[in-house]
Amino acid sequence: VADGGEGMVDCFIRSMGAKRVAVTVTNALGERSPAAYARLGELAIIEMAAAAGLPQVGSRRCPGTATTFGVGELIAHAVGSGCKRILLGLGGSATNDGGCGCAAALGVDFFDADDRSFIPVGDTLGLIARIDTGKAAALLQGVELTVMCDVTNPLYGPTGAAYVFAPQKGADEEKVKSLDAGLRHFGDVIRSQLALDVSAMPGAGAAGGMGAGCVALLGGTLQSGIDAVLDVTGF
């Protein structure tokens, strides 16, 4: 069994005979890297660790600049191949970008105060002034995105993504504070721009805030990782 982290894709391949789909994507460090997801009919099983995980970065851990862009590339490949259901596991991330990189790869546009488009990372979440989800909504129309996580942390604060998880991703005390401030701003922009308050939602802080990003930017639904695995495998 798996909880949404490393090994989840292999879990489905071995237990259900799912097909492994190999893709080259952008990893957490912004480099092109091999990755894979599992496919079972119209269901794609994707672990974010395959594209933005700690094992890939090794000693080069830097949550302020790490990106989830490759996770979005995996989702885009699956959707482009005809998948109508996406099961996305959030375990093992090296990132703290609120899932903005993933969302950008799927068409979400982020703009700063000067209306310049950019792809936010942990260090630049505080620069987001405007969000446009139109292209991503069109791409994902008719696609069900279930996001698996086994933590209940909120987006920011003492029990949020930065304070609890960023130290294991390479952040010192000062970096943790700045990352938390970025996530707080991100939550505020989501509230004002998208009329959603996801900051205190259990699981919002999973994978450096990607739980919140998947719900607010991509229309995803959070579910306990192990419950989703057991449901799909018919346990």
Could you read off the pLDDT of 125-167 as tens digits, one per residue?
999 999 999 999 999 999 999 999 889 999 999 999 999 999 9
Q: How far apart are CA 184 and CA 163, in angstroms?
A: 12
pLDDT at 4 over 90: no
pLDDT in tens, 73-124: 999 999 999 999 999 999 889 999 999 999 999 999 999 999 999 999 999 9
Q: How far apart are CA 106 and CA 99, in angstroms?
A: 11
Hey, which bits of the chain come out as E strands? 19-26, 32-40, 43-47, 85-89, 109-111, 117-118, 130-132, 144-149, 221-224
pLDDT in tens, 8-33: 899 889 988 999 999 999 999 999 99
Mean per-residue pLDDT of the chain: 95
Instruction: Yes or no: say if 218 and 140 are a contact pair by the CB < 8 Å rule.
Output: yes
Q: pTM of the predicted model, to two decimals?
A: 0.96
Instruction: Yes or no: say if 97 and 122 are a contact pair by the CB < 8 Å rule.
Output: yes
